[in-house]
Chains A and B, each alone.
Chain A
Amino acid sequence: MHNIVISEPIVIITQDPEHGRVLAHILNEYGYQPSNCDYDDALVTVSVVRPRLAVLGICDCKLGQGVMRKIRKSFPEVRIIVLVPEDDYQMGLDFLEEGASDFLFKPVSERALRIALDRALTFLEMGQERDVFREKNKILESSHQLCRQLFDEVPCYISVQNRDRRIVRANRQFKLDFGSCLGERCYEIYKHRTHPCPQCPVEESFRDGMVHQTEEVVTTRGGQQKIVLTLTAPLKGENGEINEVMELATDISQIRELQDRLTSLGLFIGSISHGVRGMLTALDGGLYRLEKGIQNNDMELVANGAERVKLMISRIRNSVLEMLYYSKDRDLNIQTLDVQTFGDGVANFVEPKATKHDIRFQKEFHGNLGRFEIDPEVISAGLVNILENAVDACIEDESKERHVVTFVVDGDKDKVSFIIRDNGPGMDRSTQEKMFSLFFSSKGSKGTGLGLYIANDVVHQHGGQIFVDSTVGEGTEFRVELPRRHVKKAPQNNGTHDPAQTDS
């Protein structure tokens, strides 16, 4: 039974004022606060009192239904208990169909009225609870949707991995670029490796429960390489145990590219500035002779000093002009060369180092090699770099007794190929994917991370390609293919300021 604490308003609608007063009296005793009215005033009274409950006494079925419809239309939340003539069961059902909360026969038993009112209140309260529940559910649903949306639309790759390093959740971006990957292993999907990566940040997060950060090169299912900044964070269960780790990877390829550009510009300026400093010093030397010659009236010294000054000024002029004309692509100094002579020159550069470390150096020149068009300075630097890497790899490799580095030069009508093969330790796929990146080195402090980056760059500049085939434990083969004829690439409009065009 409901305890009505604050008196509950209730509207009593009857055409019989005497009956209304009796009902009001009874309800008042129960703790209700009744307001009486007749049919004509019913709607107005309900709209003023705004009760949750109303009692409607019926004397005329049609009129009563009219009143109830009006109230139900304007205030559908009001529960109406209808009092129908004794034993008129049909009329009671009619009113129930119209939406009455309950019907009672007249004369009303106090007990029945009380039960009917109680039930109406219970119904109302359940309704309220249901509304609150619905509201909460709606909020939950929308926040869930928001989370999902954030998870999916955030411009990063997000994956959640379990202790087996299997992906249990991934966002849209991840699935888009790496395929449907649930249940697969992170290193297989991201890096096409067969074993977990060394210094895996996910592993670290599982171990110490902290956030870890690394930079990785990953390959999309479309074969595109991306440089990503990876952050990992542990996801803790109810008892604080780490069951899963979230990995968030942001594509920073563009930043890296920009950095490459700035770095190469920096390297260029650095190399130039060292040279310029030397030239300025030598210029001082020339001036010193010139001044001393004038002081001592020694014309020979004057002439020698002037000669030195002239030489240095011309060198400085060239350097300064080079600096001014420096643009994205260094202009190639293309020459037509005999392939065999060029190949010999490259081999001669590296052979002594190999021999010194007891590594067999094998040259193979196939067929009629003819001539080709290249910038010999940059291409030989690139090939020497790859050959030296092969020699270094063999020096480091202690798993084999005998080491061989093979240098094959081969040519057909359109292209010349240089193959550099070693039986050193080989590279895993991750190293293969990273090796052309700027400042990536597998040699630790011994490497600068510049060599292969530059080699790759100059070969592409020549319209050529580098292919790499490597097996861990067996060795590595680089194949550098260069077109026989140099085709000047169409200038790229990259926004680089070109003083040659604006100075005129």
Chain B
Amino acid sequence: MAKKILIIDDDPNIVTYLEDIFQDAGYATCKATDGADAMAVVKQEKPALITLDLEMPKEWGPRFYRELSQEEEFKNIPVIVISGLAGNKYAIQKAVASFTKPFDREELLKVIKENIG
């Protein structure tokens, strides 16, 4: 079964783009448009990896990450930050990688492959 990636971003156009490239690379995808909804999706879909935007209207990425890391079952899911904020690598230090929009597609896929195969 294809490994599943959860995309958390409030911009539907970016979600579509990420879905396109992940599905074309052979992964399954699911999505959440806000940090506040994301936890429920994690529990239901149990993704292998999460891409996380930092700035979202209701709940910011770092807060979601804190909630995630407090759950024993999910705290080891690798998180990749993809955000429009420069210097975002300091926002979530335990993230496996940080990309600033617009990102390099090949580079992103390479990091995902390194983490979940």
Residue picked from B13, B55, B86, most chain A C-beta under 10 Å: B13
Instruction: Point out the residues of chain A lying under 8 angstroms from B84, CB to CB.
Output: 273-275, 277-278, 281
Instruction: Point out the residues of chain B lying under 8 angstroms from A284, CB to CB.
Output: 17, 102, 105
Contact B20 A277 (CB under 8 A): no
Contact B24 A277 (CB under 8 A): no
Instruction: Point out the residues of chain A lying under 8 angstroms from B85, CB to CB.
Output: 274
CB within 8 Å of A: which of B10-24?
Answer: 11, 13-14, 16-18, 20-21, 24
Instruction: Point out the residues of chain B lying under 8 angstroms from A32, CB to CB.
Output: none
Instruction: Given the known inter-chain contacts A274-B55, A274-B84, please indicate yes or no for A285 contacting B13, CB distance below 8 A.
Output: yes
A165 at the interface (CB under 8 A from B): no
A308 at the interface (CB under 8 A from B): yes
A288 at the interface (CB under 8 A from B): yes
Contact A288 B13 (CB under 8 A): no
Contact B14 A282 (CB under 8 A): yes
Instruction: Point out the residues of chain B lying under 8 angstroms from A311, CB to CB.
Output: 13
Instruction: Point out the residues of chain B lying under 8 angstroms from A280, CB to CB.
Output: 101-102
A79 at the interface (CB under 8 A from B): no
Instruction: Given the known inter-chain contacts A274-B84, A292-B20, please indicate yes or no for A281 contacting B14, CB distance below 8 A.
Output: yes
Contact B105 A278 (CB under 8 A): no
In the bound complex, how far is the Cα of B101 from the Cα of A274, in angstroms?
9
Contact B102 A288 (CB under 8 A): no
Residue picked from A273, A285, A289, most chain B C-beta under 10 Å: A285
Instruction: Given the known inter-chain contacts A278-B84, A282-B11, please indicate yes or no for A288 contacting B103, CB distance below 8 A.
Output: no
Contact B11 A292 (CB under 8 A): no
Of A273, A274, A275, A281, the contact of B17 (CB 8 Å cutoff): A281
CB within 8 Å of B: which of A394-443?
Answer: none
B100 at the interface (CB under 8 A from A): yes
Instruction: Point out the residues of chain B lying under 8 angstroms from A312, CB to CB.
Output: 13
Instruction: Point out the residues of chain B lying under 8 angstroms from A308, CB to CB.
Output: 13, 16
In the bound complex, how far is the Cα of B18 from the Cα of A281, in angstroms?
10
CB within 8 Å of B: which of A279-298?
Answer: 280-286, 288-289, 292
Contact A285 B17 (CB under 8 A): yes
Instruction: Point out the residues of chain A lying under 8 angstroms from B17, CB to CB.
Output: 281-282, 284-286, 288
Instruction: Point out the residues of chain B lying under 8 angstroms from A278, CB to CB.
Output: 11, 14, 84, 101
Say how far A388's CB is from chain B's closest CB, in angstroms: 16
In the bound complex, how far is the Cα of B106 from the Cα of A284, in angstroms?
13
Instruction: Point out the residues of chain A lying under 8 angstroms from B16, CB to CB.
Output: 285, 308
Instruction: Point out the residues of chain A lying under 8 angstroms from B13, CB to CB.
Output: 282, 285-286, 308, 311-312
In the bound complex, how far is the Cα of B11 from the Cα of A275, in angstroms?
10
Instruction: Point out the residues of chain B lying under 8 angstroms from A273, CB to CB.
Output: 84, 86
In the bound complex, how far is the Cα of B37 from the Cα of A148, in angstroms?
70
Instruction: Point out the residues of chain B lying under 8 angstroms from A277, CB to CB.
Output: 84, 100-102
In the bound complex, how far is the Cα of B58 from the Cα of A13, in angstroms?
113
* A304, closest chain B residue (CB): B16
Contact B20 A281 (CB under 8 A): no
Say how far B37's CB is from chain A's closest CB, in angstroms: 18
Contact B24 A281 (CB under 8 A): no
Contact A288 B21 (CB under 8 A): yes
In the bound complex, how far is the Cα of B86 from the Cα of A312, in angstroms?
21
In the bound complex, how far is the Cα of B16 from the Cα of A280, in angstroms?
14
- Given A275-B84, A285-B18; 11 other pairs, CB 8 A cutoff: A277-B100, A278-B14, A280-B102, A281-B14, A281-B103, A283-B102, A284-B102, A285-B13, A288-B21, A292-B20, A312-B13
19 A-B contacts (beta carbon < 8 Å)? A273-B86, A274-B85, A275-B84, A277-B100, A278-B101, A281-B84, A281-B101, A281-B103, A282-B11, A282-B17, A284-B17, A284-B102, A285-B14, A285-B18, A286-B13, A289-B20, A292-B20, A311-B13, A312-B13
Which residues of B pack against A, CB within 8 Å? Answer: 11, 13-14, 16-18, 20-21, 24, 55, 84-86, 100-103, 105
**Nearest 9 Cβ contacts at the A-B interface:** A285-B17, A277-B84, A282-B13, A277-B101, A280-B102, A281-B101, A274-B84, A281-B102, A278-B84
